[in-house]
Amino acid sequence: MGGTRYMGGRLCILDVLQRKETEAMTSPAPTDVIDNPPPEVVPVCDRAKADGTPCGEPGVFTYFWEWGEKGTCCVQHQFLQNQIAAQIGRGVQYAPLVMPGPAPITRDERTRLKGEVYALEEELKDVQQRGLEMYRENATLARQAQAATVRGRETELQLKDALADLERAKADLEARDAEHGVLVEELERLRTLAAFMENETEPSRVD
């Protein structure tokens, strides 16, 4: 807090704000202004209560008296100062202090968030990569399955062909068997006829 000045024991909040503004203008990231704010930066009413002790309520306004005095006050002291201003016929102006609403992102948080974003991006890349690998594996498996199906069909067709060949061979064999039977019968008939003819001619020749 080297740049913070104290005026009559009071923290000069404007100086702090001004310094923050300068930092914000020179800093590439305006949200980096407050980096773990030291406790003395938390604005507190610098007015005194009726008994003379410091008010200490949370500061809501920066006040500016027309003679140059400035500081931080609470809502109640704004009201009281307005009464005084009216009584003494001097002007006082107020500027609302930046409320400690949503805390600005600190450098640490920014670094952490950047880290998280980076980690998530890496995870996403990883998931995409795994998805791509799975897609490729699927495609390979599909091709293999297709090839196996084709081979299976070929085998089936070959088996059908082999069975058909076997059927044809059996039919051929049966046909030949039948032919053979007919030939045997014909041969028997011819033999009988030959024997009959022989018997018919022999006695006549003898006669």
Q: Which is nearer to Zn ion, 5 or 49 (CB)?
A: 49
Q: Which amino acid is it at 169? A: A
CB of 38 to Zn ion, least distance (A): 22
**Token pair of 169 as six digits:** 């061979």
CB of 47 to Zn ion, least distance (A): 4
Please, are residues 44 and 57 in contact by the beta-carbon 8 Å criterion? yes
CB of 76 to Zn ion, least distance (A): 5
Q: Which is nearer to Zn ion, 12 or 34 (CB)?
A: 12
Please measure the distance between the N-terminal and C-terminal CA atoms of the chain and give it in whole angstroms: 165
CB of 75 to Zn ion, least distance (A): 8
42 Cβ contact list (under 8 Å, min separation 6): 100
Q: Which is nearer to Zn ion, 4 or 78 (CB)?
A: 78
Q: Which is nearer to Zn ion, 42 or 120 (CB)?
A: 42
Instruction: Enumerate binding residues for Zn ion (CB under 5 A).
Output: 45, 47, 55, 57, 74, 77
What is the DSSP secondary structure assignment for residue 1, as one 8-state letter? -
148 Cβ contact list (under 8 Å, min separation 6): none
Q: Which is nearer to Zn ion, 76 or 106 (CB)?
A: 76
Please, are residues 73 and 82 in contact by the beta-carbon 8 Å criterion? no
CB of 39 to Zn ion, least distance (A): 18
**Phi and psi for 98 in degrees, rounded to 5?**
-70, 120
